[in-house]
Amino acid sequence: MPRPSEPLLAWLRKKFEEKHLNTAKVAAAAGLDRAHLRRVLTGAEPMLVDELLAITRSLELTPAELMAAGEIPDPEPTPLLRVAGAEEPAHPQVDPWGNQPEQLFRIAFSLGCDFLFLVDGAQLGESKVPASVLAQYRGRDLPVKLDAAYHKYNAPRYDPVGISLSLSFDAVYDCRFPWSSVKQVVFFPFLPESEPAPQAGPTGGGPKLRLLP
């Protein structure tokens, strides 16, 4: 069965944004699995007619609106944001339908903040993470903390399947993590500085008189 056309999927995703809805909300209303709904709306899996009807009902779309979807032109490619001096795009604009783990990594490196990520150790057999470390976390998620001061040395390399990072254990290892293994990403941002409170003069906080020569 052919997949729905990209213009239709792009139109449906746009309706999510216009109505301020996410896949969790619509999946619950449509009686669909959230992961399946996401794959359907990104074109990774075919969409059944019943699923399309359930989605449109959840979005409160009329048959006329659905018919008009076929007239929507192909979407423009998502532009990329660049950091001054960067050799490659820093990260894509936030795209709820894109590769979320990759976007989170790109944003963390672009912001230059400390961050931690948890990966499924069962998927790291070919990761080149030291065997002693994998053994220590056998049966548990492996936590990896990246300090902003050393981001340059982490040398992130992205591809559609995963990310490669230079990490220091007992020595420096070139480690690879599949996107499917990334279970959580936690940022540790710098908190914005508060504005200093105005200093009161000797006579209190009222208007001040300044003598000019």
Termini Cα distance of the chain = 86
Tally of CB atoms within 10 A around 141: 15
**Least confident interval from 27-31, 141-145, 208-212:** 208-212
Kindly report, residue by residue over 118-137, the tens digit of the pLDDT: 999 999 999 999 999 999 99
- Asked whether the predicted pLDDT for residue 19 surpasses 60, the reply is yes
153, 103, 184, 35 alpha-carbon torsion, rounded to 10°: -150
**pLDDT at 157 exceeding the cut of 90:** yes
Look up residue 128 and give its DSSP letter.
-
In the predicted model, what is the mean pLDDT of residues 1-19? 79
> What structural domains does the chain harbor?
6-71 (1.10.260.40), 98-188 (2.30.30.220)
Instruction: Give the whole-angstrom CA distance, residue 119 versus residue 172.
Output: 19
Element (H, E) at 167: strand 162-168
Strand order in the sheet with 172-178: 157-158, 162-168, 172-178
Query: pLDDT tens digit string along 23-76?
Result: 888 999 999 998 899 889 988 889 999 999 999 999 998 888 887 775 554 445
Q: How far apart are CA 18 and CA 27, in angstroms?
A: 17
pLDDT for the residue numbered 95 = 87
Q: What is the pLDDT of residues 165-204, one digit of tens each?
A: 999 999 999 999 999 999 999 999 887 766 655 665 555 5
CB-based contact 8:14 (threshold 8 Å): no
Which has more confidence, 191 or 213?
Answer: 191
Using CA atoms, how far apart are residues 26 and 91, in angstroms rounded to an integer?
A: 27
Q: Residue 62 corresponds to which tokens in the numbers above?
A: 């009329």
- The C-alpha angle with vertex 103 and arms to 86 and 27, in degrees rounded to 5, equals 160
Residue 37 CB neighbour total at 10 angstroms: 22
- pLDDT grade, residue 210 (50/70/90)? very low
| 149-156, Cβ contacts within 8 angstroms, sequence gap of 24 or more | 151/109, 151/112, 154/109, 156/105, 156/109
Q: Which residue has the higher pLDDT, 181 or 13?
A: 181
User: Can you give the pLDDT at residue 173?
Assistant: 97
Separation of CA 41 from chain center: 17
Contact 174, 128 (CB under 8 A): yes
- 3-state DSSP assignment of residue 64: helix
Contacts made by residues 10-19, CB under 8 angstroms, sequence distance 24+? 10/72, 10/74, 10/75, 11/69, 11/72, 12/41, 12/55, 12/59, 12/69, 13/41, 13/96, 13/97, 15/59, 15/61, 16/59, 16/96, 19/59, 19/60
pLDDT for position 200 = 57
pLDDT digits (tens, 9 = 90+) for 85-123: 444 544 457 888 889 999 999 999 998 899 999 999 999
Read off the pLDDT band of 80 (50, 70, 90): very low
